[in-house]
């Protein structure tokens, strides 16, 4: 291994030198960002003065050095201090400057907090966190078992608050529903995580609800949907899900106004299971002709062609399509820009793919509440990277009842509008 020789003859391991350079760069950038934040705060309030004309908001040295655990390792910083003499008229107390970059309580970066639930899901106990991360981060600061235990308790509280929040101010026009089998510390071997995601009127995606349910039963889905309804959730215009009868039965009972769209990925898998391997490539190509058709009329012709080709030899496979044609083609009544989003439950599947790959069966101690809280924190982090649906401005029109023919908005004539 290469080493660097200092002037005094000592050597430094090159890998350690690289880490030190990275940490020093991170420390310098963080210090510069904190200085800029304070300078901006003081400059913005430069006009605030007392009766003698002296500024009420000025610099006041630095706080004591603080070690912060980041993905670059442990960085020591000295945050600049502000002397704010202004009085809050509402409370009568002195106003205080609080850094948005480095809050007073912060001892670890959000990225480090994201790693902890991931390790927990992977089966690592709280006592193993320190040796697992100490070598990587260069320190065990802020990673004691007690700290991890407090974090898991906070995550459970966050998940509980999420499940009790008011939904009356959030209008979800489209929703995706799926049961994700992660096999992590849930109540029963056949338990799964029931997930409901939605699209708001501005086109952004959002996690609506998440709970554990037995076998994706109608009762489990009904409990989740009724809970959302009690908290103010409106009926979505369109719900997308797989063929699980439990969800559709519950949706019809709780939100009978919502239209149904079956997921094409799940449907193709179900059809393939009813065919011999030799027939599967041709059948899958024929099915793609259906959901990739130019419009509903062409899709219906593709359904007829599929039925004609496979009905004689594989009636069960054909029945899986013909029995659900209306629910498989519902997306054609919505904006063409949204079709790619509405045909499948990929928004849920893609989010949980990484979680599923990084989890395994664990037989250690742990509750369903703790496991769900860990999953919730991972999804909450992933949610920040979800992109809005295509043509987000059309989502509000869907809620307003606008007509779309062949995926194109039908403009209402002035006479009809009157």
Inter-CA distances, 339 with 179, 290, 296, 318, Å: 22, 13, 12, 23
Contact yes or no for 75/30 (Cβ under 8 A): yes
What does the alpha-carbon distance between residue 332 and residue 5 come to, in Å, rounded to a whole number?
69
Q: Where does 54-122 have alpha helices with state H?
A: 110-121
The helix (H) or strand (E) run that includes residue 43 is helix 14-44
Separation of alpha carbons 265 and 247, rounded Å: 17
Query: Could you tell me how many helices (H) and strands (E) the chain has, helices first?
Result: 16, 13
pLDDT tens track, the chain, 418 positions: 444 455 555 555 555 666 677 667 667 777 887 888 888 888 888 888 888 888 988 988 888 888 777 655 677 888 888 888 888 877 888 888 877 767 776 666 655 655 665 555 555 555 555 565 554 454 555 555 666 667 678 888 888 999 999 999 999 999 999 888 765 555 555 568 899 999 999 999 999 999 887 777 899 999 999 999 999 999 999 999 987 778 999 999 999 999 999 999 999 999 999 999 999 999 999 999 999 999 999 999 999 999 999 999 999 999 999 999 999 999 999 999 999 999 998 888 888 776 665 454 444 435 667 777 877 877 887 788 889 999 999 999 999 999 999 999 998 654 444 4
pTM over 0.85: no
End-to-end distance of the chain based on CA atoms, in angstroms? Answer: 81
Residues 6 or more apart whose CB falls under 8 angstroms from that of 47 comprise: none
């Amino acid at each position: 291994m290469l080493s660097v020789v200092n002037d005094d003859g000592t050597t430094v391991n090159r890998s350690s030198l690289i880490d030190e350079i990275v940490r020093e760069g991170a420390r310098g950038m963080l210090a510069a960002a904190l200085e800029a934040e304070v300078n901006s705060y003081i400059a913005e309030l430069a006009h605030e003065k007392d009766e003698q004309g002296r500024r009420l908001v000025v610099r006041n040295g630095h706080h004591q050095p603080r070690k912060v655990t980041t993905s670059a390792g442990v960085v020591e910083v000295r945050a600049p201090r502000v002397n704010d003499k202004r009085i809050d008229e509402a409370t009568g107390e002195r106003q205080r400057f609080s850094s948005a970059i480095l809050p007073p309580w912060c001892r670890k970066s959000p990225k480090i907090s994201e790693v902890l639930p991931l390790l927990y899901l992977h089966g690592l106990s709280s006592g193993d966190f320190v040796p697992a991360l100490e070598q990587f981060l260069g320190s065990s600061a802020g990673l004691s078992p007690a700290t991890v235990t407090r974090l898991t308790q906070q995550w459970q509280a966050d998940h509980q608050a999420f499940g009790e929040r008011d939904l009356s101010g959030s209008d979800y026009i489209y929703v995706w529903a799926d049961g994700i089998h992660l096999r992590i510390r849930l109540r029963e071997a056949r338990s799964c995580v029931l997930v409901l995601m939605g699209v708001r009127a501005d086109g952004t995606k959002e996690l609506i609800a998440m709970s554990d349910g037995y076998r994706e039963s109608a009762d489990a889905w009904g409990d989740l949907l009724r809970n959302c309804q009690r908290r103010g959730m409106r009926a979505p215009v369109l719900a997308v899900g797989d063929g699980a009868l439990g969800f559709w039965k519950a949706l019809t009972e709780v939100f009978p106004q919502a239209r149904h769209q079956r997921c094409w990925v799940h449907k193709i898998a179900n059809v393939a299971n009813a065919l011999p391997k030799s027939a599967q490539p041709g059948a899958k190509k024929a099915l793609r002709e259906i959901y990739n058709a130019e419009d509903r009329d062409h899709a219906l012709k593709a359904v007829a062609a599929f039925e004609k080709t496979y009905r004689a030899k594989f009636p069960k496979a054909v029945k899986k399509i013909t029995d659900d044609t209306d629910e498989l083609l519902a997306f054609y009544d919505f904006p063409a820009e949204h079709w790619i989003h509405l045909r499948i439950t990929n928004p849920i599947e893609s989010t949980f793919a990484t979680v599923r790959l990084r989890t395994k069966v664990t037989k250690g101690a742990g509750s369903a509440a703790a496991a769900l809280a860990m999953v919730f924190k991972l999804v909450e982090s992933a949610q920040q990277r979800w992109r809005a649906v295509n043509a987000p401005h059309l989502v509000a029109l869907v809620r307003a009842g606008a007509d779309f023919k062949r995926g194109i908005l039908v403009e209402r004539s002035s006479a009809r509008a009157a």
